[in-house]
A and B are shown apart, each in its own frame.
Chain A
Amino acid sequence: MTALTSQSPAAPPDAAPAVRRRRGRPQVGSHLTMLLATVVLGAPLVWMALASLKTSEELYRRPLQWLPGQVSFDNYAQAAATVPLGQLLANSVGLTVAGAGLKVLLGLCCAYALVFLDFPGKKVVFGIVIATLMIPPQITIIPNYTLVASLGWLNTYQGILVPGLASAFGTFLFRQHFLTLPRSILEAAELDGAGHWRKLWRFVVPMSAPTLAAVALVSVVAEWNDYLWPFLVVDDPAKMTLPVGLTLLQNIDGMTSWGVLLAATVVVTLPILLVFLVLQRRLVAGLTAGAVTG
């Protein structure tokens, strides 16, 4: 009530204040609710980071110890001693960069053909790409596993990478964007003697930076977090990605050493969390693009 009376002198004397005031009143409650939601949603990640820095004596103390007594990286060292953490990180980075890069390239080229080229069967090609969005990749795991095994690709990087390379979502987003590009620029480029290759790289790509960034970031997140397929194809620790290596660690250490397991969990989640925090706007634009176009 005090908030109400202190507010009224400043309010202009027309019909608006009634609405304003009604909307102004629950703000304290809203702020508290939002604060609570933020704490509840954010706490698990903070808890993970804190726990990974505690000694096991601190982790298993009751009642619970909230903060690590002194920051200790023992859990990380022990995780690295149990599984080849450096190698896993290198594998994950390499496969993510290669996978996302190739995915963007494939989608970009395919969308260029679908928008700027006239060729027989164009509608069929578009249909093939779009229908893929309806086919859950999980349905394909058994036949793809047998194919990859018969190629001798189990426990290889190409075995992890190649089956997931084709880009339906990226192609679709690029196509949507290309349709909005001014045709006149490309026609002028053509009159100047630019071939398709040059038109793609000198004209279309520079005009598509936000879409490129969005598709690339979505692919990076998907490749980094991908679990089921690499888990099935690889059991050699030297070829594992980080999430699969975490499974190995879980199987070795079980639930006996939470500190070690959580240290590895931090290694899996922190890089992508940093990418998210730095490039949030572009990433969110990509992840939510389906809602706007669909």
Chain B
Amino acid sequence: MTTVITPDADAVPAASRPPGDRPRPPAPRRPATRRSSARRRRRALWWALLLAGPNVLLLLVFTYRPLVESFYLSTLQWNLGAPSARFVGLGNYVEWFAAPTTGRVVTTTVVFTVATVGGALVLGLGLALLLNRRLVGRTVARTVAFAPYVLSGFAVGILWLFIFDPRYGLLQELLGRVGLSSPAWYTERPWPLVMVIVVYLWKNLGYVALIYLAGLQSVPQDLRDAAALDGASPARTLRSVVLPLLTPTTFFLLVTMLLASLQSFDIIKAMTQGGPLGSTTTLMYSIYEEGFVNGRAGYASAVATILFVSLLVVTAVQLRYVQRKVHYA
């Protein structure tokens, strides 16, 4: 098969060729190659603009511009949609730190985050260890466990609200069978927060288990066998062999689950709207509430900035201190 090498200029679409840059008669060898490589470079730039341009432009307009603008808005006393605003400098931040609700919001956020991330990691690891055995029907179990992860958080919230219903819900029936009465899930602290945490765990457990399962596949079976032959109990093998080898997986999950948990919104919106009496209002939820319910866009931007900075700090701390403890097999 003969390969036809087409002259470079012909491959350039006419539209992308600058005017006046018509193909010229063959010139001495050296300058020609240099010129054609310059032309090739220009052509690559055009293609780069065409192919990467739209994506980069959208990122700049809808991610980077708002990020910067958010810092600016946080220095204004400005109501959503109002024509005028007043510059208050760090006033919104001062107000946030002094606000009587701030302590409660921070506590709620910390409790929610620690419970959801910690709970998902522990339960997910347990589930993964279980599903890593050769059990009959483990594929079905894996599918069932993972399914909630792909479902709408809002829909899942509604569904669980029905299950928690203190009068007609499935849970009060089951609790009644074992002689317990249903707590006031909707109204009495701390039950609304517990309820939201349970649903979040249910939705994310399968994902954590699946990532851990993938990690477990990379733990060599002969290492476990060797530990067992040396007389290590299963618990000891887990603690001294399996868990250390899983630390890269744990680290990845810790970072991603923390980010996701701090940003969760739809389950809370569906189940409690941040209430009762603000007992399920997280930092994320308070951005929505201040910005869109109370219309205080400047103040909400300050809260958003605080959330962003705490995300950065948490991630940086993890990269700096936790990653050191990661063992790569």
Measured CB to CB, the residues of A under 8 A from B are 15, 18-19, 22-23, 27, 30-31, 33-35, 37-38, 41-45, 47-48, 51, 59-60, 62-64, 106-107, 109-110, 112-114, 117-120, 122, 125, 128-129, 132, 134-147, 149, 162-168, 171, 191-193, 195-196, 200, 221, 224-225, 227-228, 231-232, 242-243, 246-247, 250, 255, 258, 261-262, 265, 268-269, 272-273, 275-277, 280, 283-284, 287-288, 290-292, 294
Contact = CB atoms under 8 A, between A and B. Distances in A.
B152 A143 contact: no
B192 interface: no
Contacts of B69: 143
Contact of A139 (B161, B249, B288, B307): B307
Given A117-B48, A228-B265, A243-B266, A44 B81 contact: no
Contact of A250 (B66, B207, B270, B311): B270
Q: Give the secondary structure class of B's interface.
A: helix
Contacts of A117: 44, 47-48, 51
Interface stretch (B27-35, B101-109, B128-136): B128-136
A118 B41 contact: yes
A193 B307 contact: no
Given A109-B51, A255-B165, A149 B81 contact: yes
Nearest to A143: B66
A294 to B, nearest CB: 6
B297 interface: yes
Contact of A193 (B6, B130, B144, B206): B6
Most buried by A among B48, B64, B160, B301: B48
A262 B159 CA distance: 7
Given A62-B167, A128-B60, 17 more contacts: A19-B228, A44-B160, A117-B47, A119-B47, A125-B56, A129-B55, A134-B312, A138-B304, A142-B301, A145-B292, A147-B66, A162-B58, A163-B62, A242-B152, A261-B162, A276-B147, A277-B143
B138 interface: yes
Q: 8 tightest A-B contacts by CB? A: A143-B66, A166-B58, A140-B66, A113-B52, A110-B55, A119-B48, A143-B69, A109-B51
Contacts of A51: 162
A138 B152 contact: no
A152 to B, nearest CB: 13
B95 interface: no
A288 B210 contact: yes
A144 B51 contact: no
A36 to B, nearest CB: 10
A30 B130 CA distance: 7
A118 B59 CA distance: 21
Given A38-B140, A63-B173, A138-B287, A193 B4 contact: yes
B304 A142 contact: yes
A192 B229 CA distance: 61
B82 to A, nearest CB: 11
Contacts of B249: 291
